[in-house]
Amino acid sequence: MITLILHIANSEPIKVDVDEMPSPADQVIIGKNPRERSDKELTWVDDGVTTIVVPWHRLNYVQVLPDPREQMDFPELYRTER
């Protein structure tokens, strides 16, 4: 499951989970478990809604969040140990 932050035009960004990355040919993003960036429930989504469909033309941009299980440790090259 991939977590995306959708920056919807004239609205606060929301988080959704998707099964696979959307392709450039897609007309919409189908997201599961819609929530605020702080993981709270959205006030404008009715109770019980688990999937939303957002058309691309309503999005300013999309952020892809890293999977915590796949994060890698990168060495800090310019940090000196003291």
Please report which confidence band the pLDDT of residue 76 belongs to, taking 50, 70 and 90 as the band edges.
low
Task: Name the token pair of 53.
Answer: 């469909």
Query: The pTM is what?
Result: 0.80
Q: Please identify, in words, the CATH class of the domain defined by 2-67.
A: mainly beta
Q: Encode pLDDT of 6-60 as tens digits.
A: 999 999 999 999 999 999 899 999 999 999 999 999 999 999 999 999 999 999 9
Please report which confidence band the pLDDT of residue 72 belongs to, taking 50, 70 and 90 as the band edges.
low
Provide the pLDDT for residue 66.
84
Please report which confidence band the pLDDT of residue 69 belongs to, taking 50, 70 and 90 as the band edges.
confident
Using CA atoms, how far apart are residues 61 and 57, in angstroms rounded to an integer?
Answer: 10
Using CA atoms, how far apart are residues 30 and 48, in angstroms rounded to an integer?
Answer: 16
Task: Name the token pair of 37.
Answer: 């960036």
